[in-house]
Amino acid sequence: MKQSHRKLIGTILILVFVCVYALVAMALAQGRITEASKTVQTLAYIALGLAWVLPLLPLIRWMERKDP
């Protein structure tokens, strides 16, 4: 598969993942996190804000792989 095709597919998958992840993160943030202390809230928001990167790293590596 050509790199341009991988980038197109990867971009679409990233957009879908981020939209779904944003909905899940909002649901989690409106749940019990609002009842927690400010320190726990801050840590939870930081974790939720950065957690989307880890599942996407393999996809990004796949997208950037050079053509044979």
Q: Total structural domains in the chain?
A: 1
Q: Is the pLDDT of residue 43 over 90?
A: yes
pLDDT of residue 31: 85
Residue 11: pLDDT band (50, 70, 90) is very high
The answer to the question of residue 68 being in a domain is: no
Cα 57 to chain center, whole Å? 9
Q: Is the pLDDT of residue 29 over 90?
A: no
DSSP per residue, the chain: --HHHHHHHHHHHHHHHHHHHHHHHHHHHTTGGGGS-HHHHHHHHHHHHHTTHHHHHHHHHHHHPPP-
Q: Is the pLDDT of residue 20 over 90?
A: yes
Cβ neighbours, 10 Å, residue 55: 10
The answer to the question of residue 11 being in a domain is: yes
Q: What is the mean pLDDT of residues 22-47?
A: 91
The answer to the question of residue 43 being in a domain is: yes
Question: What domain range includes position 13?
Answer: 3-62
The answer to the question of residue 39 being in a domain is: yes
